[in-house]
A = this chain, B = another copy of it.
Amino acid sequence: MPRALFLLLIAAILPAQRPELPKIQDWKGRTILVFTPHPDDDTFGCGGTLALLAKNGNRIFIAIYTNDDKGSYDLDMNSQRLAAIRKAEEETACSTLGISKENILWMGHHDGMLEYVNPLALVEQTTAIIRKVQPYAIFSIDPGREDVRWHKTDHRMAAMNTVDAIRASEWHLYFPNQRLSQGLMPWKPQWVILYYTKPADANIWVDIDADLKIKAAAAHVSQFEPAIHKYRPDWDPTELEKFTAGFKTRLPKKDGRYMEAFRATRY
């Protein structure tokens, strides 16, 4: 059993000592790698924080597991077209948050099919991304969420596969061909920051610009009414207003301020 995990186990038995926590708002010039199951979970899960990080001069990469080519009720929609729509929407959302489309890494899997992809090839692909990007911190979807336990989907697979790949990345004997033929060295991030976390598991909260986050969320036009039922490339203005208002009331607050909550671990 690798040493890091051993310490974790030991720790779990002892009275909780105060764990070290990241000060995300102070980060500058860091490399950040975000894993997201679909091209919108990054916006919903940590968009406000990413905007802050971008503003503070950090380099952000977004690795997207799937192309989201299935989630439309429009019977005239097809998968190739939907994938193109979602790609463009994600680029707009990222641009709103201050992330350029050159920094988006499309991992190339199909919506809803992540469970059925070869899992060894998936973890190898993910490990290579981590070793190439060499991030200071990795954001990913929390594998401990209740709905992840209850719903076996891209979310669960993306969540688990990312933590697996983080573990594999630090040991050169996992996928040694990556070092030999691509020159990729083992890498261990300093922080793993999980979004879509259970409220009870959250240990850090980041103060965000709610309007900017909602603006980015609204870029995912085809994910919402009316476009999800009958595709149109833009919002009906009334619907947009309703969406914006609804989204804002639902955003979590702490001490009267809009927040994003995370479960952070020193790695």
Binding site for B on A (CB under 8 A): 1-3, 5-6, 8-14, 37-38, 40-41, 44, 67-73, 75, 77-84, 87, 106, 108-113, 115-121, 143-144, 146-147, 149-153, 155, 160-161, 163-164, 167-168, 170-178, 180-182, 186, 196, 198-199, 223-225, 228, 250, 252, 261
Residues on B with beta carbons closer than 8 Å to the beta carbon of A173: 69-72, 77-80, 82, 111
- Given known contacts A1-B37, A1-B40, A78-B79, what 13 new A-B pairs fall within 8 Å (CB)? A1-B68, A2-B71, A11-B250, A12-B198, A70-B171, A73-B171, A79-B176, A80-B176, A82-B173, A84-B180, A115-B119, A115-B120, A144-B150
Contact partner, A180, options B70, B87, B181, Cβ 8 Å? B87
Residues on B with beta carbons closer than 8 Å to the beta carbon of A228: 3
A13 to chain B, nearest CB (A): 5
Report the Cα distance A153→B6, complex, angstroms: 13
Residues on B with beta carbons closer than 8 Å to the beta carbon of A120: 113, 115-116, 118
21 contacts between A and B (CB under 8 A): A1-B40, A12-B199, A67-B180, A73-B170, A73-B186, A77-B173, A78-B79, A79-B173, A80-B180, A83-B176, A83-B177, A87-B180, A106-B182, A112-B167, A115-B120, A116-B120, A143-B152, A151-B160, A151-B163, A152-B160, A152-B164
Contact partner, A44, options B1, B40, B111, B144, Cβ 8 Å? B1
For A198, give the chain B residue with the smallest CB separation.
Answer: B12
Report the Cα distance A152→B140, complex, angstroms: 15
Residues on B with beta carbons closer than 8 Å to the beta carbon of A12: 146-147, 198-199
For A109, give the chain B residue with the smallest CB separation.
Answer: B177
Q: Are B161 and A152 in contact (CB under 8 A)?
A: yes
For A173, give the chain B residue with the smallest CB separation.
Answer: B70
